Amino acid sequence: MSKVLINSTDGVTLVGGGLATRDALSAALALAPRLIAADGGADVALAHGHRPTAIVGDFDSIANLEYWRKSDVIAEYVKGQDTTDFEKCLAAVAAPLILGVGFLGARLDHGLAALSALVAEGARPVALLGEGDLVFHCPGALALDLPVGSVVSLFPMAPVRGVRSAGLEWSVEGLAMAPGGRVGTSNRMVATRLELAFDGPGMLVILPMAALGAVAKTLSTRAR
């Protein structure tokens, strides 16, 4: 699919068919109020009392497709097994902020595919929310205000080297990091300003859900 289905000036929340708590979905919608479902995510949204404005996917996991097709909800069928429903949604949406709920936790393979998609999206303002933490791709430089003591984990999806590191108890500046090599689990903020830069794309940043507001602000600002 090459066309953009939703071109939104507001943030967009994507809901998938995995584990999506009511609190996580509510937190996402407060910052990104337009709701789009990835296939079976429409059932998850409905179970939490929300109706998406559109459903995108290959419709192999949605419980009652005819119900949705008879409603005022846009149902966009996208064939093909070479992309996930999350990737299909990302291709269909243009927005200053995209928050994904229900793409992590239920199945390990689905979660890994979603993380891979984050990196493939490059510098787009996309973050995925889990039960207690969130993750986004840092393609280059990042500056973010966080409380002292916040846990910061860095997981490389490609070989990268730290160019700039400030605010962390254990600096990653100058470190070569890679899958199967050095990673940055459970680092900690010792200041209120996190600054990171890497020599290329591929680094995932994992933070507590309490950082969602700061992350959303930073990602949406970066997208302008």
For the chain of 224 residues, list the mean pLDDT of each consecutive stretch of 10. Answer: 78 94 95 95 93 90 82 81 89 96 89 95 95 92 96 97 97 96 97 97 97 96 69
Dihedrals phi, psi of 196, to nearest 5 degrees: -140, 145
Check whether residue 205 and residue 163 sit in a common domain: yes
Is 166 inside a domain boundary?
yes
Q: Kindly state whether residue 136 falls inside one of the protein's structural domains.
A: no
Structural domain including 124 reads 6-131
Q: Is there a single domain that holds both residue 22 and residue 104?
A: yes
Decide which of 82, 106, 131 is a domain's last residue.
131
Q: Do 22 and 113 fall within a single domain? A: yes
In a domain, 182, yes or no: yes
SS3 content of the chain, % helix, strand, coil (to 5): 25, 35, 40
CATH of the domain at 185: 2.60.120
Do 116 and 27 share a structural domain?
Answer: yes
Classify residue 91: in a domain, yes or no.
yes
Q: What is the pLDDT of residue 174?
A: 96
Torsion of CA 140, 90, 6, 66, to 10 degrees: -160
147 and 112 share one domain: no
Pick the closest to residue 9 from 97, 74, 86 (CA basis): 97
Q: Are 104 and 149 in a shared domain?
A: no
pLDDT score recorded for residue 1: 47
Which two tokens mark 187? Answer: 């680092």
Separation of alpha carbons 26 and 118, rounded Å: 22
Domain boundary among 87, 108, 131: 131
DSSP 8-state assignment for residue 174: T
Going by C-alpha positions, the residue among 103, 197, 210, 99 that lies closest to residue 154 is 197
- Structurally, the chain folds into a number of domains equal to 2
Q: Indicate which CATH number applies to the domain containing 44.
A: 3.40.50.10240
Tokens representing 21? 């708590």
Contact 106, 131 (CB under 8 A): no
On whether both 99 and 123 belong to a single domain, the answer is yes
CA 81 to chain centre: 21
DSSP 40: T
Query: Which pLDDT score is estimated for 224?
Result: 63
> Which among 59, 21, 22 has a CA at the least distance from the CA of 37?
59
